[in-house]
């Protein structure tokens, strides 16, 4: 009936539970919580647009590069508003194209800071000039929304990393529920593994 848990999924669940436990004061006693922490939902930004024919490809679908640019612009704005400093783009990871976008579709882009490394981190040797800078990891989801049918489906996931070059630190982002905690734990593990492969 269910999927068998592997050692990796069990470790991810343990990491997610630990992250959610760390968020406990923010969720239950916000006035007593660490002022340098905030909940993931508090970093949310969004925008919407109708897909226009000018950006279609040869197959009459919306060109993926256009979606990437719109996602990048929202991610940049999210990191800028979150950090209070013009962010420096460092990398883009794991773009997934889950379903096509047609001309005339209503696209809703949602972004949030997935997690931060307030004291900086190592993305690997291939990323230059980021040592000691606070790092902000932003997730953007693109949804094809059909108001007439009251439905929506994810068309794309985008993951961007930015540095805050003029800041010495930033706030830590914590999950507000178990789904966010799992998403955060999985992304953190993927970024660590990627950095190790590139070093």
Blockwise average pLDDT, block size 10, the chain, 199 residues: 71 90 91 93 94 74 82 97 95 85 85 94 77 92 90 92 93 95 92 76
Whole-number pLDDT of residue 199: 62
Q: Which of 130, 190, 137, 189 is nearest to 159 (CA)?
A: 137
* E strand or H helix that includes residue 72: helix 64-83
3 state DSSP class of 42: helix
Whole-number pLDDT of residue 165: 92
Q: What gap in Å lies between CA 75 and CA 40, rounded to an integer?
A: 14
Neighbours of 98 (CB within 10 A): 12
Q: What gap in Å lies between CA 88 and CA 163, rounded to an integer?
A: 5
């Amino acid at each position: 009936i269910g999927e068998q848990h592997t050692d990796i999924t069990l470790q991810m669940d343990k990491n997610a539970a630990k992250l959610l436990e760390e968020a406990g004061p923010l969720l239950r006693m916000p006035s007593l919580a660490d002022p340098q922490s905030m909940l993931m939902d508090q970093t949310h930004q969004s925008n919407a647009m109708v897909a226009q024919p000018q950006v279609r490809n040869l197959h009459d679908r919306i060109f993926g590069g256009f979606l990437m640019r719109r996602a990048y612009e929202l991610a940049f704005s999210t990191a800028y508003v979150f950090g209070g400093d013009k962010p420096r783009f460092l990398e883009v990871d794991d773009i997934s194209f889950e379903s096509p976008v047609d001309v005339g579709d209503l696209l809703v882009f949602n972004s949030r800071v997935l997690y931060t490394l307030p004291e900086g981190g190592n993305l690997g040797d291939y990323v230059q000039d980021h040592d000691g800078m606070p790092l902000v990891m932003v997730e953007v989801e693109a949804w094809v929304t059909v108001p007439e049918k009251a439905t929506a489906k994810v068309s794309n996931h985008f993951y961007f990393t930015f540095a805050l070059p003029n800041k010495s630190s930033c706030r830590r982002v914590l999950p507000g529920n178990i789904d966010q905690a799992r998403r955060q734990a999985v992304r953190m593990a993927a970024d660590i593994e990627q950095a190790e492969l590139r070093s």
